[in-house]
Amino acid sequence: MEKFHDKVIYQAYPKSFKDTTGNGMGDLNGVREKLPYLADLGVDMIWLNPFYQSPQNDNGYDVADYCSVDPMFGTMEDFDDLLAEAKKRGMDLMLDMVLNHTSTAHEWFQKALAGEKKYQDYYILREPKEDGSYPTNWVSKFGGPAWAPFADTGKYYLHLFDETQADLNWRNPEVREEMVKVVKFWLEKGVKGFRFDVINLIGKDEELIDATDGVGKYLYTDRPIAHEFIRELNEKTYGQYDDIITVGEMSSTTVENGIKYSNPEQNELSMIFSFHHLKVDYKDGEKWTIMPFDFQELKKILDEWQAGMSDGNGWNALFWNNHDQPRSNSRFGDPKNYPFETATMLAQTIHLLRGTPYIYQGEEIGMTNPNYENISDYVDIETKNAYRELKENGWDEKEILEVIREKSRDNSRTPMQWAESEHAGFTTGEPWLKVPENYRTINVKSGKLSNEIRDYYKQLIQLRKEYAVISRGTYRAIQLDHASIYAYLREDERHEVLVVNNFYGKIALFEVPEEWLQGASHLIGNHPERNLEKSLELQPYETIAFVKKK
């Protein structure tokens, strides 16, 4: 068993976690202030989104200096204090490494612009086509062409994300050495985890060509050379330690590649985030659409990744939420009528699977999408670009607002709801993003419901530590084609666990397998404890797990 198999990781989005200065934005001291809260929850590691110097065009994913702290988040001393204090409380930090691109405000890009050849080779610069059009027809993930003019040189630079996020040229050994230095810098401080942003995109081909689909993803995602680059980084940095946890963020990867990235024998990463299960409410694969989630598809994907990664000895990061996703309660459940059941059922589904669970701030207290009234309430760059594009495509304001309300990344970036007091106790100033209206009932301090949900999370976290079957047992789905239930079995040499989750607000019947009718006991559930019977009647959004000794 790998050391990290019984760990649970908490994601704190520093800008929205806790403000200690009154400027309306969260900071590192805010995370430090809340360490007792996180220790009490029982998590082992805290993933912090980027807090490095940055113009904040993409909330810190546009890094201007990898080895610094942006003054808006505090100082390097604050970071050191946070790290030391977290360790005292038995927790480690996981840092976000955005190594695919830098901000165009980064010194390297600025020097490149000033004409320094050395730094021009740090980026991906190309001549336009003979007819003067972009070097390729690739599309940026945030909309529009993936190329922008490189000052007045006549050349273009590649940006798979925003124009202010220039892709680095990993084929250049000097770039790879710079990246090694960055990772070492944080390792030497005592950081024990790294989340590598879009790391499966770092391997671009030498020759860049037009995409037959007019988009280009397939030409730069999961290239074999990306694996080589990751192996090299591993060998030169975190691979030299035996207690570092790494997770690669994999934009639309495959199980086959997922295994390569995370099988310990490959010496790449500890685990990966894959996103296919969070696209089951994309109509025709398009994000900016509204569609009820496709439950059968969701189960198919979860099952494929669970079984596939297990067969190939890969390891999944398990999650419903992060800073790029709408809140799962709003998306997959009914937070209005069944807030407790929804939150706990979703949590249990993930926490009892094979992999490492991630909790995104606020998930543990039942936070939801904010349902803003105005387009001006949104600040995310992807949302703003989408707004512009949808407008250009002739959508009316109301339609656009409806879809943005469901899908915007700001849905999860709202301030953490600490208390029923003004601005949810997040700040004494004006919060940078509006606090959802439900903070008076959904909050850490006085929210009864929030407390109940959090207690449930605590139990789930502890179960992973108590039962090896949860942290490392095998996985097998049962009755996968059930209309409203996702059920699975976990097994190791000592125990078997049966987990049954009702994903709908209606009663659902589950035919319990014969061998479970005797000798099984209740492990955890979001309804009063009861015994297994042949035909188990699950209440709306009920989740229930049983355990059997072998």
Question: Cα(436)–Cα(414) distance, rounded to whole angstroms?
Answer: 7
- Do 158 and 109 form a contact (C-beta atoms < 8 A)? no
C-beta of residue 155 within 8 angstroms of C-beta of residue 112: no
Report the relative pairing of strands 495-502 and 147-149 from DSSP bridges.
Answer: unpaired
Q: Tell me how far, at minimum, the Cβ of 383 lies from ligand TEU, in Å.
A: 9
Pairing of strands 245-250, 193-196: parallel
Exactly one of 27, 92, 96, 197 is catalytic; which is it? 197
Let me know if 303 is a catalytic residue.
Answer: no
Tell me the C-alpha distance between 550 and 55, whole Å: 57
Helices 255-262 + 224-236 axis angle, to 10: 20
Question: Is residue 141 at the binding interface for ligand TEU, with CB under 6 A as the rule?
Answer: yes
Packing angle between helix 224-236 and helix 173-189, nearest 10 degrees?
40
Closest CA to 382 of 177, 163, 196, 169: 163
* Helix, strand, coil distribution of the chain in percent, nearest 5: 35, 20, 45
Q: Is 380 a catalytic residue?
A: no
| Token pair for 404 | 């943005």
Question: Which of 61/467 has CB closer to ligand TEU?
Answer: 61
Q: Which residues contact 470 (CB under 8 A, 6 or more apart)?
A: 6, 351, 352, 463, 464, 490, 497
Instruction: Tell the smallest beta-carbon distance from residue 381 to ligand TEU (Å).
Output: 8
Cβ at position 545, least distance to ligand TEU in Å? 31
Residue 336 half-sphere exposure toward CB, CA atoms < 13 A = 3
Nearer to ligand TEU by Cβ, of 98 and 442: the residue is 98
Closest to ligand TEU by CB, 98 vs 317, is 98
Rounded to a whole number of angstroms, the minimum distance from the CB of residue 59 to ligand TEU is 7
C-beta closer to ligand TEU: residue 324 or 420: 324
Q: CA nearest 404: which of 369, 431, 436?
A: 369
Q: Does 548 bind ligand TEU (CB under 6 A)?
A: no
Residue that the structure tokens 């989408």 belong to: 386
Binding-site member from 251, 369, 412, 450 for ligand TEU (CB under 6 A): 251
Q: Which residue in the set 161, 229, 288, 439 belongs to the binding site for ligand TEU (CB under 6 A)?
A: 161
Nearer of residues 98 and 508 to ligand TEU, judged by Cβ: 98
Question: Residues 198, 244, 343, 520: which binds ligand TEU (CB under 6 A)?
Answer: 198
The H or E element containing residue 472 is: helix 468-472
Q: Which of residues 273-292 bind ligand TEU (CB under 6 A)?
A: 287
Q: Which is nearer to ligand TEU, 199 or 547 (CB)?
A: 199
Number of residues lying near ligand TEU (CB under 6 A): 14
Q: Which lies closer to ligand TEU via its Cβ, residue 56 or residue 251?
A: 251
Nearer of residues 60 and 339 to ligand TEU, judged by Cβ: 60
Query: Taking CB under 6 A as the rule, which mask of x and - marks residues 297-326 in contact with ligand TEU?
Result: --------------------------xx--
Shortest distance in whole angstroms from residue 141 CB to ligand TEU: 5
Q: List the x/- string, 55-74, binding to ligand TEU by CB under 6 A.
A: ---x--x-------------
What value does the CA radius of gyration of the chain take, rounded to a whole number of Å?
A: 23
User: Does 226 help bind ligand TEU (rule: CB under 6 A)?
Assistant: no
Q: Is-contact 303 295, C-beta < 8 A?
A: no
Shortest Å, Cβ 98 to ligand TEU: 5
Among 204, 260, 331, 409, binds ligand TEU (CB under 6 A): 409
Residue closest to ligand TEU (Cβ): 61
Q: Sign of dihedral through CA atoms 51, 54, 58, 63?
A: negative
Question: To the nearest whole angstrom, how small is the minimum distance from the Cβ of residue 64 to ligand TEU?
Answer: 13
Write the interaction track for ligand TEU spanning residues 92-131; mark x where CB under 6 A is met and - where it is not: ------x---------------------------------
Binding residues for ligand TEU restricted to 358-387, rule: CB under 6 A: 382
Separation of alpha carbons 299 and 296, rounded Å: 5
Q: 416 Cβ partners below 8 Å, 6+ apart?
A: 16, 17, 18, 26, 361, 362, 367, 424, 426, 444
Smallest distance from ligand TEU to CB 191, Å: 19
Q: Annotated catalytic sites, by residue?
A: 197, 249
- What residues make contact with ligand TEU under the rule CB under 6 A? 58, 61, 98, 141, 161, 197-198, 249, 251, 287, 323-324, 382, 409
